Amino acid sequence: MVEKEVLRSKFVGSLLGTAVGDSLGAGRWLRSAGRELSPFYTDDTHMTIGVAESLVDKKGFDKDHMLETLVRNWEREPWRGYGPGPPRIFAAYRRGEDPYEVARNLYPGGSYGNGAAMRVAPIACFYYDDLDRLKEVVYEASSITHAHPLGKEGAFLQASAIALAVRTEPGHLDPFDFVEQLRALMEHDVYVRKLNIIRRFLSSRPTKSQVIRELGNSVEAFNSVPTAIYAFLAHDQFESALRYAVSLGGDSDTISAMTGAIAGAYHGREAIPDRWLAELENKDYIEHLAVRLWKIKVKCL
């Protein structure tokens, strides 16, 4: 079992890692002079905050409450760079329509974008020690906006990577074993294939264009979650993993947010460069949420 203070550092590392990754990725187009991070985080962090707030308020998962929290936050700050889907679902909910039905019908079979994966860190931390329960909760939480099975499984893959990273003592990571454990959890062939590619890349040092071509760097969950996992596994430092994730381009705020969530969950808060934390918007509040989540968790252990 992970020691309690280490667990605290990992919870905080995963949530701050999400926000730092998001802001570093968004900094590609929103940076101001003398800074590396964008002055503002985007929807990835904003929704992660909503997920954490709901888990803290309800001391665990409550789907309707999580929806209400995400909608409330979106209404307050709709300018955070939300993708096209969630605002349509949230507005329909406010009009009194069934939001889950809207989510199911948004695209044929629902969305398989990476929007459920990008916000999953608080859930993954909270349920890190029970992968069966984690899967149930991630599937339910994803279906608020991402009803397609590949959207939900992508979020579960990201959540599983974070949960395994929380469970692994810093310095004791075996990347090949990590990939094997993730592969055993996947049901859909596309994720199994991508994890096989990661295993091959871990011993073949591919070029960036090979990584982009074979793992992807776009908004679909299966073209971004495996990329984030590879960025984490191919680097032994938080900072180098994030710089690599951003350098792949494409949906870089989300890919580096997801890399940051996993790397932060493994390395812990202390591994995040101070200068990035100093530039991060709302750092103290995000850290406060992670600590509250940890306190609720350790009481249950």
Contacts with Mg ion, residue ranges (CB under 5 A):
42-44, 81, 253
Min dist CB 253 to Mg ion, Å, is 4
Residue 43 or 153 with smaller CB distance to Mg ion: 43
Residue 82 or 128 with smaller CB distance to Mg ion: 82
Residue 80 or 297 with smaller CB distance to Mg ion: 80
Min dist CB 47 to Mg ion, Å, is 9
Residue 116 or 166 with smaller CB distance to Mg ion: 116
Euclidean distance between CA atoms 276 and 286, whole angstroms: 14
Min dist CB 254 to Mg ion, Å, is 5
Residue closest to Mg ion, measured at CB: 42
| Amino acid residing at 191 | Y
Min dist CB 261 to Mg ion, Å, is 13
Euclidean distance between CA atoms 143 and 266, whole angstroms: 27
CB contact at 8 A, 82 and 112: no
Residue 9 or 48 with smaller CB distance to Mg ion: 48
Burial of residue 87, with CB atoms counted within 10 A of its CB: 0-12 exposed, 13-18 middle, 19 or more buried:
middle
Q: Which of 106, 120, 108 is nearest to 162 (CA)?
A: 120
**Residue length of the chain:** 301
Min dist CB 176 to Mg ion, Å, is 31
Residue 47 token pair: 């929704």
Residue 43 or 279 with smaller CB distance to Mg ion: 43
Written as one string, the DSSP assignment of 32-94 is -TT-SS-SS--HHHHHHHHHHHHHHHHTS--HHHHHHHHHHHHHH-TTS---SHHHHHHHHHH
Min dist CB 119 to Mg ion, Å, is 10
Cα atoms in the 13 Å half-sphere on the side-chain side of 206: 20
